[in-house]
Amino acid sequence: MSCKRLFLEGHPVVSNVYFVVGAYAVSWIVLLAYLFRVQSLLRRSRAALAHARSAGGAT
Amino acid sequence: MTSAVANSPFEAPKSGRWLLFGWLAFAYLIAAQAISIAISPPDRDMGDLQKILYIHVPAAWNMGICYFLVAIYSMRYLWKRDERDDLKAAAAAEVGTLLNGLTLVLGMIWGRPTWGVWWAWDARLTSTLVMFLIFAGYLALRAFVDEPERRAQWSAAAGLFGAINYPIVYMSVRWWRTLHQVQSTPDTLDPSYALSLRLNAFAILFIAIFFIRRRYEAALTERVAEHELQAAVLGGSSRG
pLDDT 10s digits, B132-157: 999 999 999 999 998 989 999 999 99
Cα end-to-end distance, chain B, whole Å:
21
Tell me which of A7 and B90 has the higher pLDDT: B90
**Quick one: fold of B19-230?**
Four Helix Bundle (Hemerythrin (Met), subunit A) (1.20.120)
Q: What's residue A2's pLDDT?
A: 41
Q: What's residue A42's pLDDT?
A: 94
Tell me which of B94 and A55 has the higher pLDDT: B94
B147 touches chain A (CB under 8 A): no
The pLDDT of residue A14 is above 70: no
pLDDT beneath 70, residues of chain B? 1-8, 236-240
Q: What's residue B4's pLDDT?
A: 37
Q: What's residue B233's pLDDT?
A: 80
Q: What's residue B88's pLDDT?
A: 97
Q: What's residue B200's pLDDT?
A: 95
Tell me which of A49 and B190 has the higher pLDDT: A49
The pLDDT of residue A8 is above 80: no
CA distance B219 to chain A (A): 7
Closest CA to B215 of B98, B64, B75: B98
Residue A3's pLDDT band (cuts 50, 70, 90): very low
B32 touches chain A (CB under 8 A): no
- C-alpha dist (Å) from residue B112 to A6, B51, B76, B99, B116: 13, 15, 42, 20, 5
B232 to A13: CB separation less than 8 angstroms, yes or no: no
The pLDDT of residue A23 is above 50: yes
Q: B28-42 in b/e burial notation, b at 16+ Cβ within 10 A?
A: bbeebbeebeeebee
Interface residue of B19, B52, B121 to substitute, partner A, most A CBs within 10 Å: B52
B86 with B152: CB under 8 angstroms?
yes
Handedness of CA B33, B47, B98, B204 (dihedral sign): negative
Q: What's residue B237's pLDDT?
A: 59
What ipTM, to 2 d.p.? 0.89
User: Considering the entire predicted model, what is its pTM?
Assistant: 0.88
Q: What is the DSSP letter of B118?
A: S
Please report which residue ranges of B116-183 form alpha helices under DSSP H: 123-144, 148-164, 166-175
d(CA A17, CA B16) in angstroms, rounded, equals 41
A52 to B232: CB separation less than 8 angstroms, yes or no: yes
Q: What's residue B3's pLDDT?
A: 40
